[in-house]
Amino acid sequence: MRTDNGPRRTGAGRPMGPQPAKRQAILEAAVAVFLREGYTRAGVDVIADEAGVSKQTVYNHFGDKERLFIAAVEGERERVAAAFADGAPYAPEQFDGDARAVLIAFGHRVLEVLLDERASALRRLVIAEVARHPSLRTACSDGEPQRLVVWLTGMLDRRTVSGELSVPDPASAAQQFVALLVQQGLYQSMYGTRPLAAEIAASICEKAADLFVRAYRT
């Protein structure tokens, strides 16, 4: 049921600024409808009804279905990255200890958030639709999850300063490590369509950590 009739206005008749709660409701509804109906069949009117807003409100926030879809994908990436930060005990003191063990623990957390069921389903939808809708290529060009890369960059920088590792370019090395985890995680889980067995996840993380420590050990 729709609960509004478009943008609210100030006393002078001018539209009010963005409304974060309403925008988030639209994005949540968009993810649900796109996953249920697919990109082509999903209608803005259906998304609006599911979000409890008017169709015009959806257009006011996002312009058109294409931009709404891209915003929904970006929002899902942010949700997954936030889950990594909120669910992992990676406070600064966690930089202490053995580099291999920290990399393995980091790897397990990356795989956990990477293979989130909803994020995986949306990722598959993007891949399926981009061939028919080339304008959606923007939704594919995300690279590695940046929040994960930032955390790992800091860890590698500290390990280099301490002398445990020698990493000339921590940012690039962090991207490479996360990319290795992502590629193997997606491959072994068939892009999130089957659970990743614990022993396979452990093997992915341990092999990546061993490769990395061998490459950068002082």
Residues 125-182 have pLDDT tens digits of: 988 888 888 888 877 665 556 778 888 999 999 999 999 999 999 999 999 999 999 9
Does residue 121 have a pLDDT over 50? yes
What pLDDT sits at residue 37?
95
Query: Of all helices (H) and strands (E), which one includes residue 39?
Result: helix 20-41
The reported pLDDT for the residue numbered 78 is: 81
CATH architecture of 1-63: Orthogonal Bundle (1.10)
What was the pLDDT predicted at 123? 87
How large is the C-alpha radius of gyration of the chain? 21
Q: Is the model more confident about 90 or about 101?
A: 101
Phi, psi (5° rounding) for residue 216?
-120, 10
Q: What is the pLDDT of residue 143?
A: 52
Q: Which CATH architecture has domain 73-216?
A: Orthogonal Bundle (1.10)
Residue 84 pLDDT > 60: yes
Bigger pLDDT: 11 vs 133: 133
When mean pLDDT is compared across 106-110, 112-116, 145-149, the lowest value belongs to 145-149
Q: Please give the structure tokens belonging to residue 69.
A: 């879809």
User: Do 73-216 and 1-63 have the same topology in CATH?
Assistant: no
3-state SS class at 9: strand
pLDDT for the residue numbered 131 = 84
* Residue 15 pLDDT > 50: no
Share of the chain above pLDDT 70, in %: 83
User: Which pLDDT band, with edges at 50, 70 and 90, does 80 fall under?
Assistant: confident
Other CB atoms closer than 10 Å to residue 144's CB: what's the count? 18
Q: What amino acid is encoded at 8 in this protein?
A: R
pLDDT at 46: 97
- State the chain's mean pLDDT as an integer: 85
| Token representation of residue 153 | 């960059």
Residue pLDDT, tens place only, 175-196: 999 999 999 999 999 988 999 9
Q: Where are the domains of the chain?
A: 1-63, 73-216
